[in-house]
Amino acid sequence: MRRSLAALVAAGIAALSLVTGAATASAAPQSTASVQKSFTFVIDQVATRGPNGPADQYIQIKNLSQVPQDLSNFKVNVAPSPSQIFEVATIPQGTILQPGRVYVIANPQGYSGPVVDQYFTGVLPLTDKVGVALLSPSNITVDSLATISNSPFVMKAPATPLTTDQPLALVRFTNTDNNAVDFHIAPRTPGLPGPVTIF
């Protein structure tokens, strides 16, 4: 009886350590190196500058799926350098994005577009060489884009950065998990969905 009780206690401690270990691991921030392409929300367009100058900036998120998706409490982080990461937006509670629709987050200091759903919190302009990540409410990276190879948010190879104050943006055309392949410099269309689809 004493031996079986000891065995039972040992098994209980082992099970508890497994549960505790799993909880600790899931609480740790997820590396963007393990990010898989998203079939729900993606970064659709990013403009680090525009016709109104270097602060004419926005980040556009798209619902790729065939059903409405809850965007509440998702976060947008930017990394202007490999060692700096800043949160620029938290999506408000109750934000539902319909299939194929977009959500525009812009710089209040210079954005010239026709549509905006939310402004950046604080004054942190995007640099041309930057990383941008969309995080779930539990801080899992859902999608990311970078225009610099050593960004913590780069997916495989970096996209080409914007360099002129033209009405252009980095527009997502495909969803292959490779920033250099997926994003191309093209006319900016804030508020209008880009060409990428789930298929």
Residue 186: per-residue pLDDT: 97
Pure H helices in 112-186: 179-182
Residue 162: per-residue pLDDT: 96
Residues 94, 48: Cα–Cα separation, whole Å: 28
Residue 198: per-residue pLDDT: 67
In the chain, where the domains are located: 1-30, 32-187
**Residue 82 vs residues 98, 176, 188: alpha-carbon distances, Å:** 34, 23, 27
Residue 189: per-residue pLDDT: 97
What's the CATH superfamily of 32-187?
Lamin Tail domain (2.60.40.1260)
Residue 90: per-residue pLDDT: 96
Residue 31: per-residue pLDDT: 42
- Tokens at residue 193, please? 């969905």
Beta bridge partners of residue 102, listed in sequence order: 62
* Buried/exposed 50-73: b ≥16 CB within 10 Å, e otherwise: bebebbbbbbbbbbbbeeebebee
Could you list the pLDDT tens digit for every one of the 199 residues in the chain? 434 434 433 333 333 333 333 222 222 333 444 455 566 899 999 999 999 999 999 999 999 999 999 999 999 999 988 888 999 999 999 999 999 999 999 999 999 999 999 999 976 768 999 999 999 999 999 999 999 999 999 999 999 999 999 999 999 999 999 999 999 999 999 999 999 886 5
